[in-house]
Amino acid sequence: MAELAWAGRLARWESELPEAELSAAYRAMPARFAAPLRLRLRVLVLKRIAGGSPHPSYERLDTLAREIRAGSRDFASTARELSDDPSAADGGDLGLVLPRDFAAWAGVTALARVERMVPGELGGPFQLEVYREEQLASVPEGHLLVRLEEREEPRERTFEEARADVASFVARERAVEAREQIRARVLEEIRAGGFPRATLPGPGSAAPLR
């Protein structure tokens, strides 16, 4: 409850940041608040059998890729039928994804290949590499085919479009000031008997900042 109350206070403090300050921060670095590159991808994943060789998944996908390119198979239907990924229910459609999110899911090697593709192109089989925290390494877990459906290039956003991100950035830049101002407000309410002490972070603790 204390963390929720503090988060609410922080959101209120953030909403009260002067518009002129937010506008100045945006004008100083508009590229920071640009809409990033997003890729609409469709995937077909075959996982390797635990302890088994990765070759069967590669060879099967290589055959499927040739059939899809030749037009004897439909990618979406094949993904629904064979893919081991939850996106199979949507014909392999991942929607618009950020490159960093795709890399976190499939590995940086697959991303490097996908970023060079053009809309409509089918790529792969690529190795599916999943990062395992306990091993501190990326582990091969199968292979995937990827079709790039759409490429949404980076674009500059207007201040109105980017305002929430600008406010969060300014709040992070003024984190110490935010904590001190919010603590002062809460202490005033405690002295007035209108706010529970539990909503104040403990000594030495940091308020969660977005």
The tens digit of pLDDT for each residue in 87-126 reads 999 999 999 999 999 999 999 999 999 999 999 999 999 9
* 110 lies in the same domain as 136: yes
Query: What pLDDT is attached to residue 119?
Result: 97
**Cβ neighbours around 188 below 10 Å, total:** 11
Q: Which domain holds residue 88?
A: 38-152
Query: What pLDDT is attached to residue 38?
Result: 96
Domain membership flag for residue 209: no
Is residue 210 very low, low, confident or very high in pLDDT (cuts 50, 70, 90)?
very low
* 133 lies in the same domain as 42: yes
Domain membership flag for residue 72: yes
User: Is residue 61 within 8 Å of residue 124, measured between CB atoms?
Assistant: yes
User: At what angle are helices 2-15 and 175-191 packed, to 10 degrees?
Assistant: 110
The Cβ-side half-sphere exposure at 49, using a 13 Å CA radius, reads 4
* 24 lies in the same domain as 71: no
User: Is residue 43 within 8 Å of residue 85, measured between CB atoms?
Assistant: yes
* 142 lies in the same domain as 48: yes
Helix (H, G, I), strand (E, B) or coil at 191: helix
Residue 152: beta bridge partners?
38
Selection from 42, 169, 156 nearest residue 94 by Cα: 42
Residues 6+ apart with CB under 8 A from 113: 123, 124, 126, 146
* 188 lies in the same domain as 101: no
The tens digit of pLDDT for each residue in 135-165 reads 667 778 899 999 999 999 999 999 999 998 9
Q: What is the pTM of this model?
A: 0.68
Domain membership flag for residue 205: no
Average pLDDT, the chain: 84
The tens digit of pLDDT for each residue in 46-66 reads 997 655 566 788 999 999 999
Main-chain phi, psi angles of 65, to 5 degrees: -60, -40
Amino acid at 128: L
Selection from 9, 10, 45 nearest residue 146 by Cα: 45
CATH of the domain at 146: 3.10.50.40
Query: What pLDDT is attached to residue 209?
Result: 45
* 48 lies in the same domain as 144: yes
